[in-house]
Structure 1
């Protein structure tokens, strides 16, 4: 079925005139007649009753007009939607995020982005840094908020530094160190140390181990939970101590005390995206650049103990 023939049929039906349809379509009347004849031949029905003075739809033509208008409208909508998708104004945007690091800013950002691009369906996935890296490789997320990833993947992933999160000591609220206003690394030596699993956040783990090495301290790493909530639960229920980013206080932290360190250790939060971003990711990045002060919005509100 020729799409042009459908549009010609609709024009003739609406105006009940071959000559008027030719004028509106900027063609000649003979071309209009050819289109209608070809359509009638293909369908095997007469669409119009016509003579030199009169053009009217047959009963078959009335039925076919309803369908023809729906087909043309659907095709126009399909064209419009395809253009919106290509422009990054419609479609799906998949975001991976660290819950503890993003809880204070991501909901507000997503709400405002939805107002800016209401035709984009934003899907969010709680993921560690390692899980986000795998998701980028698999093509299952478009944007990620996490700690730095292995920069052997620079050809695949681009990044923007957002903020630096200070490291805190965390102990249970009955621990010997719980009432200290400030703690040093040497205070940790007598106690088993819990660190977030290296395979889930290589940068965080290696930063902490490197600081111990610089101060000639050999920590007694007791366990490496794969989730921050599990880490807090373990600390709250034992005499082990842990070093965590301050943003972890956004999680459930009952029976835990967070103590500043007497040396400044920071871990970065970054936004990541593919080297060749999807159209919706490009829309997100453009919106962030034009409408969001990322450094200010993502700064961790954890400056006091």
Structure 2
């Protein structure tokens, strides 16, 4: 009687297989995984040898996934989804609930602390791990399964994601304490501007508004770029230039009169914040409670 062949899967090999398909390139996949191209090719060879089928037809410049490869792709995606679910469930450990959150700089600094404090009063065993990132990075972390929930300042629509509007904020133009009380739109392009990094929800909201008034990003006199609101405030206070920033981020500075809001022809820039998670993905107890509290902010 013929003995059935045993499959001994290596997750690294399967990840290499999925990344090649995702990136549509052996070279790009090897760069993303930070392993040599020879290693990633060896991973595919080992999988094909173990399975006894050809998963990818390869030439010197291109490749195509075989019918057997497409079947294996479905299995691999399901396997990694199960692995991520297991990691999230096991992360609860001895705590009442554990959840990892990716939050934009404004939400991690000015929104989440009060919400988490309220939850901790009700359930002291809840445990949260917060990773600050800009909105684009936070959404990517959600999609990749690195975190359970995201709190972001913009929506990047994707069929696998659920967004919930939780809060509205105002973006204001600020300058040093001796700045004018207001300027015209025509004056703005000629003033030194401090801006957040590409991917920032604050920057996107400001640029979208200005575009609606025929001022393109290339028209602005950007002299300084910073990845945090705290850095932006310090740059403004130091006299480097003016900046668009969340009103939430400047309450203390307004009280101290170390900077001031500059009116811009009566223009108001609003920015919405959203909670986001992957559809049909299990949320931990802490994740469900946090999402419920965030929805109450509206």
The aligned residue for residue 164 of structure 2 is 160
CA contact (8 A) 1:167 1:260 kept: no
1:225 shift after superposition: 1.5
Residue 238 (structure 2) aligns with: 237
Q: Which residue of 2 aligns with 1:222?
A: 223
Residues in 1 aligned to 2:172 and 2:102: alpha-carbon distance in whole angstroms? 25
* Residue matched to 2:204: 206
Distance across 1 between alignment mates of 2:130 and 2:204: 28
Secondary structure of 1:211 counterpart: helix
Q: Which runs of 5 or more residues in structure 1 are unaligned? A: 1-81, 296-305
TM-score, L = length of structure 2: 0.57
Per the normalisation by structure 1, the TM-score is 0.56
Q: Is the 8 A contact 2:105 2:228 kept in 1?
A: no
In the alignment, structure 1 residue 247 sits paired with structure 2 residue 251: no
Out of 244, 266, 279, the residue aligned to residue 283 of structure 2 is 279
Query: Which residue of the partner structure matches residue 129 of structure 2?
Result: 123
Q: Which of residues 173, 176, 194 is equivalent to 2:177?
A: 173
Match of 1:195 in 2: 195
- Aligned pairs for 1:37-186 within 5 A: 90-151=96-157, 154-175=158-179, 177=180, 180=181, 182-186=182-186
SS in 2 for 1:244: strand
**CA 1:157–1:260: 2 relative to 1, 3 Å:** farther
1:266-285 alpha-carbon deviations (Å, 9 max, x no partner): 1111111222333316x543
Partner Cα separation in structure 1 for residue 275 and residue 105 of structure 2:
14
Max Rg structure: 1
Distance in 1 separating the partners of 2:238 and 2:271: 26
Structure 2, unpaired ranges of 5+: 1-88
Counterpart CA distance in 2 for 1:206 and 1:291 is: 23
Partner of 1:18: none
The Cα offsets for residues 228-268 of structure 1, whole Å up to 9 and x where unpaired, read as 22222222223521112212215767732223441111111
**Could you say what secondary structure the match of 2:150 adopts?**
strand
Aligned residues: 203
Q: Return the match for 1:293 from 278, 287, 296.
A: 296
Contact 2:103/2:150, CA 8 A, preserved across alignment: yes
- Residue by residue over 1:136-155, the C-alpha shift from the partner in whole angstroms, topping out at 9 and shown as x without a partner, is 1332221221211422xx22
How big is the alpha-carbon RMSD for the aligned residues of Structure 1 and Structure 2?
3.3
